């Protein structure tokens, strides 16, 4: 396994991060335990979860993933071997079941959400605590373009208050470091600026989507990662499984995410499907699986701290983790960029 430094901290995290959002819905606790055992034994010491999980979010499974991880910690006693990341949910109609929709990033809500996560996780600290998506309306979760917000700034929690609340929890020892998720370049720099001006905790990571179909992080945010030592935690590196090739030609494999949950159609437009086919053909030409190509590309980007993989089967997990050993030669990379120039931004 390869390891990266988490921001400006002394923590070393595996280049492959274990994603967990299927546990408690697509995966049973027993299957999740098997994944955790295997991943940690392979050197994957970085795990990412959220209070929202499992996915798709619903009241019946709210907090289920954190609870499964907590049960594993209690059973194995291996909490100190894991760099654990979790997230507080932001506002939105799809999270009305979380604190009755009171999901603002103020001091009271952050403290409540954090304490509930700690209880489910059966631990007294979280290594990286992230804001799952912005409180303010902006373009994230596949939304392109920017529209002038209808909400007044007075209706939102000031960023300074959010940063102070998170910093208080760091001082209390409940959080080691803080990060953002589904965030823009503007807000990332604003949080960095406020931390410097107010002497508060600096964010150490941004967890955003990044894959061969969506390289938008490279515009603006990648430079911030380099200049400010705030690396990307890349999620959806296989674009909801599309970049495994299993959905090509309208295939619908049993128990696959998009088969089960058709609402996850972000990468199913004609342009994206044409790009997937081109990348699939490229992988075949170089005797690789599309999964190996897609994951290895993310692994090797200099602004990526860790690549968050997710799997519903052990075979998938093994292939995903083994992508760390895949090398992409210069000829392949040139051809890959040619495809990117043709299908520059097929999916958000």
Dihedral of the CA atoms 40, 35, 248, 274 (nearest 10)? -30
* CB-count exposure of residue 243 (10 Å: 0-12, 13-18, 19+): buried
Is residue 98 one of the residues assigned to a domain?
A: yes
**Half-sphere exposure at residue 298, Cβ-oriented, CA atoms within 13 angstroms:** 36
Is residue 70 one of the residues assigned to a domain?
A: yes
pLDDT at 138: 83
pTM score, whole prediction: 0.95
Residues with catalytic function: 53
Is residue 17 one of the residues assigned to a domain?
A: yes
Is residue 254 one of the residues assigned to a domain?
A: no
| Number of domains making up the chain | 1
Q: How confident is the model at residue 153 (pLDDT cuts 50, 70, 90)?
A: low
Q: Which runs of E-coded beta strand occur in 143-294?
A: 175-181, 203-209, 231-235
pLDDT, tens digit, 9 for 90 and up, residues 61-84? 999 999 999 999 999 999 999 999
Give the DSSP H or E segment for 73.
Answer: helix 64-76
How would you classify the pairing of strands 3-5 and 12-14?
Answer: antiparallel
- Asked if residues 17 and 39 have their Cβ atoms less than 8 Å apart, the reply is no
35: domain CATH number?
Answer: 3.20.20.100
Q: How confident is the model at residue 347 (pLDDT cuts 50, 70, 90)?
A: confident
| Average pLDDT, rounded, for the chain | 94
Tell whether the model's pLDDT for residue 152 goes beyond 70: no
Is residue 184 one of the residues assigned to a domain?
A: yes
Percentage of the chain modeled with pLDDT above 90? 84
Distance CA 238, CA 324 (A): 14
Mean per-residue pLDDT, 95-121: 96
For the chain, the first-to-last Cα distance in angstroms comes to 30
Quote the domain boundaries for residue 160.
3-241+303-328
Is residue 279 one of the residues assigned to a domain?
A: no
Percentage of the chain modeled with pLDDT above 70? 99
- Asked if residues 227 and 201 have their Cβ atoms less than 8 Å apart, the reply is no
pLDDT, tens digit, 9 for 90 and up, residues 170-225? 999 999 999 999 999 999 999 999 999 999 999 999 999 999 999 999 999 999 99
Is residue 246 one of the residues assigned to a domain?
A: no
């Amino acid at each position: 396994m390869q390891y990266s430094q988490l921001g400006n901290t002394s923590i070393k995290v595996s280049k492959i991060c274990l994603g967990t959002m299927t546990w408690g819905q697509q995966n049973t606790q027993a299957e999740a335990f098997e994944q955790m055992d295997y991943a940690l034994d392979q050197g994957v010491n970085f795990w990412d979860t959220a209070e929202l999980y499992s996915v798709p979010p619903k009241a019946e499974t709210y907090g289920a993933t954190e609870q499964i991880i907590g049960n594993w910690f209690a059973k194995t006693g291996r909490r100190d071997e894991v760099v654990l990341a979790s997230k507080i949910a932001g506002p939105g109609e799809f999270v009305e079941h979380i604190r009755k929709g009171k999901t603002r990033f103020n001091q009271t809500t952050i403290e409540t959400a954090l304490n509930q996560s700690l209880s489910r996780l059966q631990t007294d600290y979280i290594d990286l605590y992230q804001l799952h998506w912005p409180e303010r309306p902006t373009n994230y979760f596949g939304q392109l373009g920017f529209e002038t917000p209808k909400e007044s700034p007075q209706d939102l929690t000031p960023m300074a208050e959010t940063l102070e609340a998170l910093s208080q929890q760091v001082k209390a020892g409940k959080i080691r470091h803080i990060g953002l998720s589904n965030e823009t370049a503007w807000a990332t720099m604003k949080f960095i600026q406020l931390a410097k001006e107010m002497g508060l905790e600096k964010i150490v990571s941004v967890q955003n989507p990044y894959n061969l179909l969506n390289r938008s992080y490279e515009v603006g945010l990648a430079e911030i990662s380099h200049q400010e030592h705030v690396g990307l935690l890349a999620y959806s590196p296989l674009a909801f499984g599309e970049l495994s090739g299993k959905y090509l030609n309208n295939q619908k494999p049993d128990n696959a995410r998009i088969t089960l949950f058709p609402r996850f159609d972000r990468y199913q437009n004609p342009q994206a499907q044409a790009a997937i086919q081109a990348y699939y053909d490229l992988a075949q030409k170089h005797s690789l699986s599309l999964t190996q190509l897609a994951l290895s590309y993310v692994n090797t980007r200099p602004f990526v701290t860790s690549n968050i993989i997710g799997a519903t089967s052990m075979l998938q997990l093994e292939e995903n983790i083994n992508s760390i050993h895949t090398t992409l030669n210069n000829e392949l990379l040139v051809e890959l960029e040619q495809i990117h120039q043709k299908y520059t931004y097929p999916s958000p």
